Amino acid sequence: MQVGCDPKHDSTRQLLNGHPSVTVLEYLRQVTPDQYSFEDIVSIGYAGVACVEAGGPEPGVGCAGRGILSTFSLLESLGVRTQNYDLILYDVLGDVVCGGFAVPIRNEYADVVYIVTSGEFMSIYSANNILRGVTHFNNSKHRIGGLIFNQRNIEGENERVERFANAVGLPILARIPRSNEFAIAERLGKTLIDCLPDSSVTGLMRELAVKITDSPKRYEANPLSESELEQVVLGKVVNRPHSFLNQQTEAFEKPLIKSTRLATSKLKRIVSKNVLYQEPLHGCAYCGAVSVSSQVSDAIVISHGPRSCAHMAYNAVTSAGRRLYNERGILLPNQVQPNIVSTDKDENIMVFGGTELLKSKIEECKKRKPSAIFVISACTSGIIGDELQALKETDDIPVIPIETDGDIAGDYMQGALMANSEIALNLVDSQVNPNPMLVNIIGERSFYKNAEDNFKAVEKLLIQLGLRINCRYLSNTPVSQIREMKKANLNIQAFTDYKGRMLRNFFEQNFNMPFFDMPFPVGFFETAVFVRKLGERFHIDKERVETLLSAETERYFERVGQLKQTLKDRRIVIILYNRDIDWLLEIIQHLEMTLVKVCVMNSCSEDHFHSRYLEDTPVEMHYEMRGKESQIRAWKPDILLSTYNASEFGDEFFTDSIPYSPDNGMFGVLDIAERWAEIFDNSLHEGWKADEKYFNWYFGTFKK
Amino acid sequence: MRNESQRPYSNQTFLEPHIYPDAFSGTLWALDGIKDGLVLLNGPTGCKFYHASVSNSQYCRGTSYNPAQIDEEFYFRQNRIPCTYLDGNDFVYGSEEKLRKALQTTVTDQHGFVAVVNSPGAALIGDNLEGVLEDELHDTPWLAMENTGFSEPFYTGFQKAALALLHCLQIPKQPTRARTVNLIGFSIYQKHHEGNIRELTRLLSLAGIQVISTPMAACACLDLIKSPSAALNVLIAPESGHEIAQWYSDHHQIPCLELPIPIGFDATEHWIKQICEQIGGNPESALEAINYARAVSFQHLHSFNALSGFPKGTFYGIKAEYSLARGLYHFLTPYLGMLPSVIAFYEEPDPILLRTFREELAEKALEGCLTEVESAPFHLLFSDGNTIAHHKARGTIFAGVEVCLPSLGYTDVIPKATMGCQGALYLIEHVINGLKFFCK
């Protein structure tokens, strides 16, 4: 395989009979992630060579280095390492100007680096820069194959290149003369070997190919300083101790197509809704990953980016925690003192790279003896190409990189999914045996203020059934519990929305973990089915289960009967983003209210709308609320329920908001309906709504 | 007290301090502190949501999240700081197309200026913001903040943005109006900026002095344009206003009066007298208001003190911005007889300012309290919601007084102040209520 890593995308043109292939970056722009296919970006050219071109932006705009990173990320996620190529050749720009362009020469990609240079000073300068680039990626491993001299027939070029080769201790593997034959081949859209198989230059190419595939030696990168380089190239011999003749070399191993990043390639297939449908991203993956990973109670989360990113993520994590403390006096340690630290990348780091800074931050954090360290990258790290995977460790204190690269990996949900999956892949022990009466709780959302109450409600139900909770993944969870996740005999999800479904797929596919079919229940029906199904699943005495339910059922319908007196036949219109609203439709049905319309607005986090009441529900999907006031009035609702309690209707009819996260169990919904009844019974109105005109006068941007 | 306040609680063995915002946030909140400006963020929504939310909750200019009123694209249902929602593709190919569309969609002829601010990521890809702005905007003043500074101090970004805006507005020279001032150094990221501005404006008004503008904090473009007519600039906090005041001095020859922040009665009295002396106001009515507040203070402190002996001898901690911390010390210690156990700052102050404060503390042999908040116990902690909750979660027993952001979530319907008479009474109220628990 040959991968062209230049925005000019001309590396494989001759292999493909002069026809340009689709570039990876164009492909990423045009195709949704669920449609990504390895075959789409690979063209088979001369002699069966698989050709890939990274491509890039127009000159002078964007960031081509970032494009190289995106290309390699896609190739990885599509399993390039499992394709069994004899050899993968990355054709890289000579100017290693930033971390992005240096990606192919990282340890995880290039086993051997060959440097093409001609005899001009600037070309040799670039060759030396490549050596400097290689030294940044674990130079203890010798990886330089040698120089390939592209002769230009200019005066003194042989001497200059030889002096350079000698000074840096590298052999010149081939001297390719200037020849018109290249132009002929190019005109015909063919490779030299295909076009002129018997020419002398072709012979040199064949010899070089043999050296590359059979060469026994690799050399250390020993770049020259700028002053040394000038001395060497401009004619003064520098006595450096390392000549390639006596330099220690390492035996050449046939390049192996390694699979060191399996974890990443797996997780890339779990994509958020925004990423899947290429929608505007809501929030950034970095923040989602920080929020999830900060729920590991004895780990440290390193934010690798500028301080502003860490500040925003820190406050996203503590927001619900602070409010919970203020409103209820409850202190959740992970949400008021999250273990988030920042590398505080500054201007210098942006220019010169942040890998060393990150390394030292990791060492500093290790001294505090956390059970794990998560490293999460912001946009700037992804753009300048800081290398996180190389810092991964699996020792006493695992260091787990989560390469969100700000929002380059996707939206908030994508980051949350990445953190969930990377943490599991790196920490969960697959060898643990299950205990029959243990369950895990999966995917709680700590940013909802009722998350802890909802957990307690479900925990109470589980305890009543004789079950115990093994691990809350992830909600104030220690690493030891994550490691032993497979002790649970069943996994119960807090939510089975889009994100919940992704998480379930992930755990089923990677850990073969059994999942319960229902999420935390809301409302009468779900709660009853939840308890009965759990009872069946764990062979709990039926009588015990029914006893548990019967008292609750009686109490539920007694309250419904009372509420019906006020709410029966009331006309109700619902406009919302939420998708799981059966709890709401159920109470409307139980109260015999008249459901006039359900208008579902597009949601950034869910693509399904499903309901067991679908047949009886007048649903309008993709609803846009702007300019619909007269339509809503025409429906003559007694109650307008919406995700956002709109003030447009003043006091014309009763409007109320729908919680994103309703209370679990049978009675939370009844509490909401009871409020409606109180409002109707007492004919309550809201005089304050008439004051909007004053608000607009005093506080509108342009009104005063 | 030390034993009581050091109960171990958390299962966490390492605690990380609250992470303070940097110059990027400082830039956004400086520019969005102007009522009728349009601050367009060239960056991801991840950089927008938080800043837009804080901006409008601190300085209300309409409502957010109403799907019937606010657009999804660029605004994402928030009424402040629209953004170009950059993603991975934009970082590769550049953001020009989206930026043009965002400008075409969001800018109206009512905007006093348009500022495009690059997010940290966008700052690396080098889009030609000025070229796009020049093409798209013909009548509205504009400025481009290509790089706000990575991890640089909050107020470095704040003041850099302020100067860029003042330059962009091309404010003409104007005749000086007698007995007028600009109050410099306020920011909408200061928790009680609204109440403080109101209180200081009230006191100055009692002295016959008018506030023309509070640059970068809850004022309109027109206020900025009138600002060179002020007879005096009053610097509230050097860390947030020194360079702005210098700009006025250089470009409009407005003298700057730098006084200790008016926290507490003595400082407020000094503040109003000095301003009056400088530009000819009559401080009598303002001083009378201060005296009345002193009387109210005495009434409550006396009742509290008679039964408890407090607040004298109790300990307090401060983690705040430099000027606020120093002002609190100069009120709490000499007036209430309280002792600082720890005084810490979000960002390292200017060395000269720090030395001044250190010397002031050394006069009372208290310089040792300039240390991190983790290191000492206290009965009262004056800080932000994160720091207060953080210490509560450690099991430390104390009362938290929120004087900085982020808040714990309490909604202040009536604007509170920490400066002036109202500010002194507000702080005394918290001191008394916060210490009641410790009365035996």
Query: At a CB cut-off of 8 Å and minimum separation 6, what does B295 contact?
Result: none
| pLDDT surpasses 70 at A677 | yes
For residue A250, what pLDDT is reported? Answer: 54
| pLDDT surpasses 60 at A252 | no
For residue A247, what pLDDT is reported? Answer: 53
A267 pLDDT band, cuts 50/70/90, is very low
For this complex, say whether ipTM is above 0.90.
yes
B182 pLDDT band, cuts 50/70/90, is very high
For residue A140, what pLDDT is reported? Answer: 65
Return the higher-pLDDT residue of A410 and A20: A410
CATH T-level assignment (fold) for domain A548-690: Rossmann fold (3.40.50)
User: How distant is the Cα of B182 from the closest Cα of chain A, in angstroms?
Assistant: 20
| DSSP assignment string, A68-129 | HHHHHHHHHHTTGGGS--S--EEEE-S---SHHHHGGGSTTT-SSEEEEE-SSHHHHHHHHH
Q: How many CB atoms are closer than 10 A to CB A407?
A: 36
Under a CB-based contact definition with an 8 Å cutoff, are residues A530 and A554 in contact?
Answer: no
| pLDDT surpasses 80 at B304 | yes
Q: What's the average model confidence in pLDDT over A275-299? A: 95
Name the 3-class secondary structure at A248.
Answer: coil
Mean of per-residue pLDDT scores for chain B: 93
Treating both helix axes as pointing N-terminal to C-terminal, what angle do B420-435 and B265-279 enclose, rounded to 10 degrees? Answer: 170
Sheet holding A144-150, edge to edge: A113-117, A144-150, A172-176
For the entire predicted model, the pTM comes to 0.87
A132 pLDDT band, cuts 50/70/90, is confident
Check if B10 contacts A (Cβ < 8 Å): yes
| pLDDT surpasses 60 at A264 | no
d(CA A70, CA B92): 9
Check if B17 contacts A (Cβ < 8 Å): no
A319/B406 touch (CB, cutoff 8 Å), yes or no: yes
Judging contacts by C-beta atoms under 8 Å, the chain A residues touching residue B392 are 325, 331, 336
Domain A273-524 has CATH 3.40.50.1980: yes
What ranges do the domains of chain A cover? 2-234, 273-524, 548-690
Check if A329 contacts B (Cβ < 8 Å): no
B408/A325 touch (CB, cutoff 8 Å), yes or no: yes
pLDDT tens-digit map of B211-223 = 999 999 999 999 9
A28/B89 touch (CB, cutoff 8 Å), yes or no: yes
pLDDT tens-digit map of A181-234 = 999 998 888 999 998 999 999 999 999 999 888 866 889 999 998 888 888 887
User: How distant is the Cα of A315 from the closest Cα of chain B, in angstroms?
Assistant: 8
B163-182 residues touching A, CB cutoff 8 A: none
Q: What's the average model confidence in pLDDT over A492-497? A: 95
How many Cβ contacts (< 8 angstroms) between chains A and B?
247
Percent of chain B exceeding pLDDT 90 equals: 84
For residue A236, what pLDDT is reported? Answer: 61
pLDDT tens-digit map of B51-103 = 999 999 999 988 777 777 777 889 998 999 999 999 998 998 889 999 999 99
Check if B155 contacts A (Cβ < 8 Å): no
pLDDT tens-digit map of B325-380 = 999 999 999 999 999 999 999 999 999 999 999 999 999 999 999 987 666 789 99
A326/B92 touch (CB, cutoff 8 Å), yes or no: no
For residue B9, what pLDDT is reported? Answer: 29
Q: Token digits for A331? A: 């202190």
Nearest 5°: the CA angle B352, B356, B359 is 135
d(CA A319, CA B179): 44
For residue B2, what pLDDT is reported? Answer: 36
d(CA A192, CA A190): 6
Check if B393 contacts A (Cβ < 8 Å): yes
Judging contacts by C-beta atoms under 8 Å, the chain A residues touching residue B109 are none
Q: What's the average model confidence in pLDDT over A47-56? A: 92
B22/A306 touch (CB, cutoff 8 Å), yes or no: yes
Judging contacts by C-beta atoms under 8 Å, the chain A residues touching residue B36 are 701-702
User: How distant is the Cα of B277 from the closest Cα of chain A, in angstroms?
Assistant: 33
Judging contacts by C-beta atoms under 8 Å, the chain B residues touching residue A297 are 11-12
Q: What's the average model confidence in pLDDT over B27-32? A: 98
A506 pLDDT band, cuts 50/70/90, is very high
Q: Do domains A2-234 and A273-524 have the same CATH topology?
A: yes
> Domain A2-234 - what CATH class?
alpha beta
Q: How many CB atoms are closer than 10 A to CB A207?
A: 12
A629/B68 touch (CB, cutoff 8 Å), yes or no: yes
B60/A380 touch (CB, cutoff 8 Å), yes or no: no
The backbone region for A86, taken as left when phi is positive above 0, alpha when psi lies in -120 to 50, beta otherwise, is alpha
| pLDDT surpasses 60 at A674 | yes
pLDDT tens-digit map of A421-460 = 999 999 999 999 999 999 999 999 888 889 999 999 999 9
B409/A412 touch (CB, cutoff 8 Å), yes or no: no
Check if A628 contacts B (Cβ < 8 Å): yes
Comparing A97-111, A327-341, A685-699, the range with the smallest average pLDDT is A97-111
